[in-house]
Chain A
């Protein structure tokens, strides 16, 4: 919103005798003070500053510039005594002695921003400039002027153009509307003047009370139109006044200039008055051509369906039954609080008018305005909750201006009014508090007198109540224009005092809270441990991606569900219109992007995945709607295959180590019938990206918490990615709140020797070595403490048995026998070795020596 300082000055008391301008404050200071005490200023612009600097001069002498043929050195005077003031370099053709011209001294800033500075022109410093009309920003009938402005001979020498032309300079302050969201009172110049007066109260700036509460009822005859307010509507109060015989024409220059300066286009005197009053008092109003209305009633009611209205901007708009309209006996005339209709508005030939000054329920206006996508100067004021008690004043001011601009106009009847309930008689809001409470919340001792003075400057009434137990209580009457939404409790009073005394006068102080030990929550600790592990051990880069995805990506990833339950109403693009069901599509998208730059990489993300919930009885509202899981996603990519270290096994080893690191027993299983809960299937069985063989479920605490998968080429093909990719996902939700505990207890070092037994067996090509290990482990011999693979080699073609075991491997199993309390006997060892061999043979893993 643009605020004109010149306009503000209308409302500041001035000392009659000195006419001193107490608000002559530098724009920079204004910007700073308003920002710190009232609302955010986006910028301050000085308009017409040059008028007060430029004076009427008479040329005394002209001589040729020694260095330039087309330039002259011109001397001039500003007074009748012909005293020469200075010499300027001038290039105009029409320069002559005795000519009266405008002279701009150094330091003048011209319209367009040019600042006149001391500069040498061909070696000679010009002490200012003689100006043309174009340079002064004046329009001339002949178009842009080139020569000096030749002023009439009787122009008073030495007078400023401000006096001569009655031009005024002004400061336009641009206030950020967002910072006025809670301040309906600041949407007009009068309200802003009150604040500025409070801020500069110490300089003696005082608000002038321009509006008498009394309205002289000059006419008491019958009003031609009266308002009727229907209870269901959004109407709070409605004032109507009829005026006859207005004459539509252009507004006077002062009004047009003010409107233009704050960004409005002048239209005609009556329309301009409605805008002018709104900008002055912050209350929107509407003026009808009364001759276009039907009947003698203005009805404020809900819209009936189906109903359309063509608004002032010429657009046909559809009304719904929840919208409120202002109607006559036939049709809706105005979308209440938002915009008037085209038909009944003021036209060039309008003679008789009806002025509407009304107040509406903020919520209803906001809903209709949002639905229609129609935010107007009017609606953005009403949705802040305006004060109905200001309506009368607004009507008086409007009427006053109409009569001023159309002296022949006559008021017909009286101000007619309709209101909802007690709207106009509601009791004032009173806040009971104490100086002590205010100062305690502020953390600063502001003297009582100052608190009182500030509140009074802002039109709060302060009265001190009896001293109860030594604390003087005060009751504060909140002015009605601050009580609609903004000021409701002591904290709000603290804000008033704090911002006016200046928050920068408060000394920072530490609160006196006891020192208590804190530690990271289990989930934060887990998050950090995983990040550390993935960077240092996993040699991976951490990425962050949108938790929002689109159908296109899910389809490209061949993902089996499209999460239709979690779609946004107002997504900005179809690529990000729903929550992701898994991190996998996001990881694939990132991999696809990066494989264009790199041959291989490892990345991970700690992110969330979303599924529509299966509500449990005790779950909260949000939990009933969606399940939000914390996932770790890991992706390894390599353009080329490295047979000696398969990428899948690298990921497997990493995940196993990770579970050790977070001290959680994680188990990798190839297949598990217990995995019934669909949400625990992190890689769904029907995802074409699932690999038929290189796949593990990760089990922890009895449930599937993750999966490791070599991405099926089907999916890579869909992204046109060449290479190998493994993805692991782990759902941290089930264990993220579990404390990571160090449960290690020292065990005695072995006192007796252990016995190691190696045996090499033949394992068929497509059988995992773990099957042989399980055979040995299943012997359940207490002394058999360990069995692992010591060596694997694929049999050469000479060694292979014809017909079968074409890709067989010779695998050396190393078993460790140990007893904590004794040395094992030779017989026992021999006996156990035989048991192992026999069991292996029975399971189809014969010793190599046998074949």
Chain B
């Protein structure tokens, strides 16, 4: 009989298993699959040949063939997966990347990026004021005599004009009545006048910015430095409110309980005028080289806005009172980062700036 001569499904299956082991790649696997399971594959031929066989034989062999076909199908699939994984691994091994070749290990010049240290401190202070309801205003660096002095209760020939060494411009302009002279603002107090020109009371605002003094520079003196001016105008403002605001502000800046004291200080645009000292943060008031043994650090000038200044800003001092203060931003920045030379601030030196990098 024809059937006796041809190999049994089991023999075919055993033969398949032998081939399976020898497979080297996906193509061979697919060929092997076609050889056994394809349209004209070995099992298809057996099943085709069975159509003339007895029904029992048909049933038995047919069933066997189908079982083996399923098994071969599964084995080929898993073999294919195995081969694919081998191939991926091989190609990944070829695509090796040195993962330690990262920027932090490379010299690519200066790749640091970040804010100027003064920006960091200034933002913090601005945010404290904003959280207490202050607006942030601005003003020009080039000012006229009126905004820098006259409107701030410092008329021409006032000796207080000598307290600030002012840069004046050579050129002037012809006004209706007189010659207008121009200068670089010596304090951010000019922003008080500009603020009053813009807003009606009650208001609270601060004005940060550059100021200019015609002074010799050294480690603690700069020609160009930075202040933040503050002003509150409302009904019933008192010296006690001023102490409250200054204390709250400084506690926020230094993030700790601090002790302050007010002492008389003269600034023509405030009356009474004060110097505000904080108990030395280094020695807690016992006396050290930073506070020159006094136990106190002079930190900010402040005072009640002079009625003449309010009047100049179109505000009736009988109804409204004000308080004003000025903070030196360079000084605070230097205190925060223990910087010993103020000239570094404007130096543009990246060896300095990059120390405060964000990343």
Set of chain A residues within 8 Å of B113, measured between Cβ atoms = 534-536, 538-541, 602
Chain A residue with Cβ nearest B127: A520
Q: Which of A444, A515, A579, A599 contacts B109 (CB 8 A)?
A: A599
Whether A536 lies near B358 (C-beta < 8 A) is: yes
Distance in Å: Cβ of A381 to nearest Cβ of chain B:
10
Distance in Å: Cβ of A655 to nearest Cβ of chain B:
16
Whether B353 lies near A542 (C-beta < 8 A) is: yes
Whether B240 lies near A541 (C-beta < 8 A) is: no
Interface residues in B136-164 (C-beta closer than 8 Å to A): 136-138, 140-144, 146-147, 156-157, 159-160, 162-163
Q: Contacts A362-B157, A528-B123, A535-B113 hold; do A513 and B133 have CB atoms under 8 A apart?
A: yes
Q: Contacts A36-B261, A625-B142 hold; do A598 and B243 have CB atoms under 8 A apart?
A: no
Is B354 on the interface with A (CB-CB < 8 A)?
yes
Whether A518 lies near B134 (C-beta < 8 A) is: yes
CA distance A625 to B137 in the complex (A): 22
Chain A residue with Cβ nearest B137: A521
Whether A441 lies near B123 (C-beta < 8 A) is: no
1/0 per position for A603-641, CB-CB distance to B under 8 A?
A: 101001010100000000110111010000000001100
Set of chain A residues within 8 Å of B111, measured between Cβ atoms = 539, 600
Interface residues in B211-246 (C-beta closer than 8 Å to A): 212, 214-217, 223-224, 232, 234, 236-241, 243-245
Chain A residue with Cβ nearest B212: A548
Measured CB to CB, the residues of A under 8 A from B are 35-40, 178-183, 362-364, 366-367, 370, 383-384, 440-444, 489, 491-492, 494-495, 498-499, 503-504, 506-516, 518-521, 523-524, 528, 531, 534-536, 538-548, 565-572, 576, 579, 586, 589-590, 593-594, 597-603, 605, 608, 610, 612, 621-622, 624-626, 628, 638-639
Given contacts A541-B112, A542-B119, A543-B353, 14 further A-B contacts (CB under 8 A): A509-B238, A513-B133, A518-B134, A531-B119, A534-B113, A536-B113, A541-B354, A590-B349, A593-B348, A597-B110, A601-B110, A622-B143, A622-B144, A625-B182
Q: Give 8 nearest A-B pairs by CB, closest first.
A: A443-B240, A600-B109, A363-B157, A443-B238, A495-B272, A590-B348, A508-B244, A503-B262
Task: Tally A-B pairs: CB < 8 A.
Answer: 271
Set of chain A residues within 8 Å of B182, measured between Cβ atoms = 622, 625-626
1/0 per position for B253-286, CB-CB distance to A under 8 A?
A: 0000000011111101001111100000000000
Whether B241 lies near A511 (C-beta < 8 A) is: yes
Distance in Å: Cβ of A574 to nearest Cβ of chain B:
13
CA distance A589 to B351 in the complex (A): 15
CA distance A738 to B318 in the complex (A): 37
Q: Which of A489, A499, A546, A565 contacts B224 (CB 8 A)?
A: A546
Q: Contacts A178-B163, A547-B224, A626-B182 hold; do A594 and B119 have CB atoms under 8 A apart?
A: no
12 contacts between A and B (CB under 8 A): A35-B263, A494-B271, A498-B239, A511-B236, A511-B237, A520-B136, A524-B138, A544-B346, A546-B346, A571-B167, A572-B214, A599-B107
Interface on chain B toward A: helix, strand, loop, or mixed SS?
mixed
Whether B173 lies near A624 (C-beta < 8 A) is: yes
Is B188 on the interface with A (CB-CB < 8 A)?
no
Measured CB to CB, the residues of B under 8 A from A are 107-116, 118-119, 123, 126, 130, 133-138, 140-144, 146-147, 156-157, 159-160, 162-163, 167-171, 173, 175, 180, 182, 184, 202, 204, 210, 212, 214-217, 223-224, 232, 234, 236-241, 243-245, 247-248, 261-266, 268, 271-275, 304, 306-307, 321, 345-351, 353-354, 357-358
Q: Which of A440, A515, A569, A589 contacts B168 (CB 8 A)?
A: A569
Distance in Å: Cβ of B325 to nearest Cβ of chain A:
14
Whether A444 lies near B159 (C-beta < 8 A) is: no
Set of chain B residues within 8 Å of A638, measured between Cβ atoms = 109
Set of chain A residues within 8 Å of B307, measured between Cβ atoms = 489, 491
Set of chain A residues within 8 Å of B348, measured between Cβ atoms = 543-545, 586, 589-590, 593-594, 603, 605
Distance in Å: Cβ of A602 to nearest Cβ of chain B:
7
Set of chain B residues within 8 Å of A524, measured between Cβ atoms = 126, 136, 138
Set of chain B residues within 8 Å of A624, measured between Cβ atoms = 173
Which of A362, A524, A545, A600 is most buried by chain B, counting CB atoms within 10 A of its CB? A524
Whether A182 lies near B350 (C-beta < 8 A) is: no
Whether B271 lies near A492 (C-beta < 8 A) is: yes
Whether A625 lies near B180 (C-beta < 8 A) is: yes
Set of chain B residues within 8 Å of A518, measured between Cβ atoms = 130, 133-135
